[in-house]
């Protein structure tokens, strides 16, 4: 699915823009890059390990009686973060680099907890967490840490929004998350310098997972099984404005894809695509997760990203199931809606499926 | 980690580096960037959306049928219930017969296989056979085997293995009535063995000139579940020791053997970084549990947490270093 350098070279050769012997020169130029590449499952394993080490570090700090005071927590936390950033930026030793990641995460936990205690406010802790994470995405040159910073920052912002109980605060926070995700994955990619691109790549995954986490939490507050624990949060949760915002972002993505195909926006296919997205948003107005899942699926194929595709499939299944489960309809009516939806999708599929001849052609 | 730099993902930065290194023109650079960054061509989009809509549509249809049956459960007579499900199975099978080996045919056969479960449930309810639930899942598994073979669909293969897992779990709980730790631990061991056999069979057939299945995600998923089952036994043995009985000791041995075998096979014979990483991570997880047990018994308070943190960091470091040295 994803494009490799060899695919690009093959394309240029086919266009007559590159000689047959270009491979060796390219190989030599990119040799240094192979040392930093790591597949997603290695990064997941390292991330889980980093969290585990952080949990133990936090446990050790909180077990020290002198650190019960919020001032001590904040000071120790800031020092830990500072040292961690310095070590990670300077050191090439693997052990020190991993220690720096765990120490930075533990330091952030101390600072967030300390500030939260200082102001006795979840909002204060949340804002601190969000600002710290933004700074550390830039300062900490570590992919796993940047991914975790995106998660922590998003989670902190959402927690602050919910705790503030301000009208539409969570909707605004969620829409900002959507906008950040759209920017990282789709805007200005061509002109980004190498350092910025490297910085933002893990952040993109963190933002997507954080967004789905918020949408999943929102879905859970409206489900019967969780109402006893989360029902009191329902009025602060997401409304149609979030679905409309995500739908508009989805339409912007489809618009961009149509642009890149060189197709007119007035063509029937373009109209059908945009109308389809609008219809999905309208039909699932109470469930932003479905629109977000569909948008992520399209984005994943657009960016040729298998990991994002896997995430989108999982979330679409989860939100789809939750949506139909929570419909206030009898089982008979639900079965009608499900069968109708299924037949509609299959009918659309029949309309757009390439013919056998088109499938055989390159 | 790709050994050949040409197998690296085509990011804009790498494309620029490649084009400059090859001494190509600005026009070539622009074309290359267009190719690497822009969205896939329309025909690729149509194939993707066609596949996605087929799968989603089939899933929704299936769910709708299940809801319909559930709603009319008490209203429909016994023959009506059988007729409904059997008609759905026949329709799905006929569609599969027409469309195989295409994706729509495979999805149709998956739907037919899934519907066999409700059919057996209705049979059990209608005739009050008194059979244990494990029998339903085992029969379900047995009945769909021909379709699993014919469909050559990885998802259906995974479904079949999961059915076998569920029937094993139910058998252990309801028939044998296991309720002691030392006895219950045999269940995940049997499941792990089953998954090991499934992975071995998958690898054997993938080496044939025309493999029956070739999607590695399915084999990896089965392997992950098998290793997870072994890890449960291994970690339980660490924390409950003698109470785990023979199953605990066998579990630890089996985990070590599985790790060793996986490393040997997937490093030397059929290179697969995911499987190697899986085996290493499972080994590290078990060792972490062992060290944690040891630290707990020393009762070191804050120092104990710190030692655990340092140990985990050391493991990560070791893992990354080992990966960088051996992945190419």
Q: Where are the alpha helices (DSSP H) in A70-121?
A: 70-90, 94-119
Q: Check if the beta carbon of residue B271 is closer than 8 Å to that of residue B223.
A: no
The pLDDT assigned to B124 comes to 83
Q: How many CB pairs under 8 A join A and B?
A: 278
- CB contacts of B295 in chain A (<8 Å) are none
pLDDT band at A234 (very low <50, low <70, confident <90, very high): low
The pLDDT assigned to A229 comes to 62
pLDDT band at A235 (very low <50, low <70, confident <90, very high): low
Q: Check if the beta carbon of residue A131 is closer than 8 Å to that of residue A78.
A: no
Q: Check if the beta carbon of residue A79 is closer than 8 Å to that of residue A123.
A: no
CA distance A195 to chain B (A): 9
Q: Check if the beta carbon of residue A320 is closer than 8 Å to that of residue A305.
A: no
The pLDDT assigned to A236 comes to 59
CA distance B174 to chain A (A): 27
Does residue B279 have a pLDDT over 90? Answer: yes
pLDDT band at B280 (very low <50, low <70, confident <90, very high): very high
- Reported as a single tens digit per residue, the pLDDT across B127-175 is 876 767 888 899 999 999 999 998 889 999 999 999 999 999 888 887 7
Does residue A338 have a pLDDT over 70? Answer: yes
- CB contacts of A45 in chain B (<8 Å) are 277, 281, 319
The pLDDT assigned to A42 comes to 85
CB contact set of A115 (below 8 Å; sequence gap of 6+):
A70, A74, A124, A125, A128
Average pLDDT over residues A351-362: 68
- Reported as a single tens digit per residue, the pLDDT across A193-214 is 888 888 999 999 999 999 999 9
Q: Which two tokens stand for residue A33?
A: 């890059």
pTM: 0.77
- DSSP-derived letter for residue B179 is -
Does residue B2 have a pLDDT over 80? Answer: no
**pLDDT > 70: what percent of chain A?**
92
- Reported as a single tens digit per residue, the pLDDT across A272-307 is 889 889 988 888 888 888 899 999 999 999 999 988
C-alpha angle B224-B174-B162 in degrees, rounded to nearest 5: 25
> Which of A69-73, A135-139, B138-142 is the least confident region?
A69-73
pLDDT band at B178 (very low <50, low <70, confident <90, very high): low
Does residue B328 have a pLDDT over 90? Answer: no
Among the partner residues A17, A57, A358, nearest to B31 by beta-carbon distance: A17
The pLDDT assigned to A228 comes to 62
- Reported as a single tens digit per residue, the pLDDT across A152-198 is 999 999 999 988 888 888 899 999 999 999 999 998 888 888 888 88
Q: Cα–Cα distance between B178 and B180 in angstroms, integer? A: 6
CA diameter of chain A? 74
Interface of A with B in 268-297 (CB under 8 A): 297
Average pLDDT over residues A332-336: 83
A190·B37 Cβ contact <8 A = yes
Does residue B232 have a pLDDT over 60? Answer: yes
B13·A193 Cβ contact <8 A = yes
Decide if A35 touches B, using CB distance below 8 A.
Answer: yes
pLDDT band at A91 (very low <50, low <70, confident <90, very high): confident
- Reported as a single tens digit per residue, the pLDDT across B84-140 is 889 989 999 999 999 888 888 888 899 899 999 988 888 887 887 676 788 889 999
Three-state SS at B200: helix
């Amino acid at each position: 699915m994803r494009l490799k350098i060899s695919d690009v070279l093959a394309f240029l050769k086919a266009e007559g823009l590159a000689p047959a012997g270009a491979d060796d020169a390219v190989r030599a130029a990119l040799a240094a890059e192979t040392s930093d590449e790591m597949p997603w499952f290695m990064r997941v394993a390292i991330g889980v390990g980093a969290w585990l080490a952080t949990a133990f570090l936090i446990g050790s700090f909180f077990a020290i009686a002198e650190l019960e005071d919020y001032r001590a927590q904040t000071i120790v936390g800031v020092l830990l973060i500072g040292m961690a950033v310095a070590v990670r930026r300077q050191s090439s030793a693997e052990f020190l680099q991993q220690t720096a990641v765990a120490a930075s995460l533990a330091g952030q936990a101390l600072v967030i907890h300390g500030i939260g205690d200082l102001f006795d406010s979840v909002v204060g802790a949340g804002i601190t967490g969000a600002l710290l994470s933004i700074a550390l995405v830039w300062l900490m040159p570590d992919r796993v840490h940047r991914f975790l910073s995106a998660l922590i920052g998003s989670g902190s912002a959402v927690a602050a929004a919910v705790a503030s109980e301000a009208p539409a605060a969570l909707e605004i926070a969620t829409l900002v998350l959507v906008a950040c995700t759209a920017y990282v994955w789709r805007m200005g990619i061509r002109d980004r310098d190498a350092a910025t691109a490297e910085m933002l790549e893990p952040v993109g995954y963190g933002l997507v997972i954080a967004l789905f986490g918020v949408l999943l939490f929102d879905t859970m507050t409206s489900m019967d099984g969780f109402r006893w624990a989360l029902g009191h949060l329902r009025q602060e949760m997401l409304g149609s404005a979030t679905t409309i915002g995500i739908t508009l972002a989805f339409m912007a993505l489809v618009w961009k894809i149509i642009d890149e195909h060189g197709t007119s926006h007035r063509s029937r296919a373009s109209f059908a695509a945009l109308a389809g997205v609008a219809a999905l948003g309208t039909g699932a107005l109470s469930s932003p997760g479905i629109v977000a899942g569909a948008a992520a699926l399209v984005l994943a194929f657009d960016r040729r990203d298998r990991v994002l595709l896997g995430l989108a499939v999982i979330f679409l299944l989860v939100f789809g199931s939750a949506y139909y489960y929570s419909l206030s309809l009898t089982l008979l009516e639900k079965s009608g809606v499900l069968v109708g939806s299924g037949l509609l999708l299959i009918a659309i599929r029949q309309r757009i499926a390439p013919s056998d001849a088109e499938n055989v052609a390159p | 980690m790709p050994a050949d730099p040409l197998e690296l993902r085509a990011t804009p930065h790498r494309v620029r580096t490649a084009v400059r290194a090859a001494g190509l023109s600005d026009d070539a650079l622009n074309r290359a960037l267009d190719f690497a960054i822009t969205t896939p061509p329309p025909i690729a989009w149509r194939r993707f959306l066609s596949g996605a809509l087929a799968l989603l549509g089939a899933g929704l249809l299936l769910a709708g049928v299940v809801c319909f049956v559930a709603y009319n459960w008490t209203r429909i007579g016994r023959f009506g219930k059988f007729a409904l499900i059997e008609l759905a199975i026949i329709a799905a099978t006929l569609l599969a017969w027409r469309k195989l080996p295409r994706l729509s045919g495979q999805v149709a056969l998956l739907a037919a296989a899934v519907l066999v479960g409700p059919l057996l449930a209705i049979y059990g309810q209608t005739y009050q056979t008194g059979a244990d639930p494990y029998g339903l899942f085992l029969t379900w598994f047995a009945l769909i085997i021909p379709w699993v073979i014919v469909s050559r669909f990885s998802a259906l293969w995974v479904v079949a293995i999961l059915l076998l897992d569920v029937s094993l779990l139910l058998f252990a709980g309801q028939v044998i009535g296991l309720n002691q730790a030392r006895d219950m631990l045999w269940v995940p061991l049997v499941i792990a063995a089953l998954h090991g056999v499934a992975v071995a069979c998958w690898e054997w057939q993938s080496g044939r000139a025309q493999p029956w299945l070739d999607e590695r995600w399915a084999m990896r998923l089965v392997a992950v579940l098998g290793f997870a089952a072994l890890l449960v036994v291994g970690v339980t043995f660490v924390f409950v020791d003698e109470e785990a009985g023979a199953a605990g000791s066998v579990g630890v041995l089996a985990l070590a053997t599985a790790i060793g075998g996986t490393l040997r096979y997937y490093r030397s014979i059929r290179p697969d970084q995911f499987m190697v990483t899986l085996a290493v991570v499972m080994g590290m997880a078990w060792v972490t549990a062992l060290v944690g047990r040891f630290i707990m018994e020393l009762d070191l308070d804050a120092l104990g947490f710190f030692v655990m943190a340092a140990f985990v960091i050391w493991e990560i470091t070791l893992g990354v270093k080992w990966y960088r040295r051996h992945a190419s």
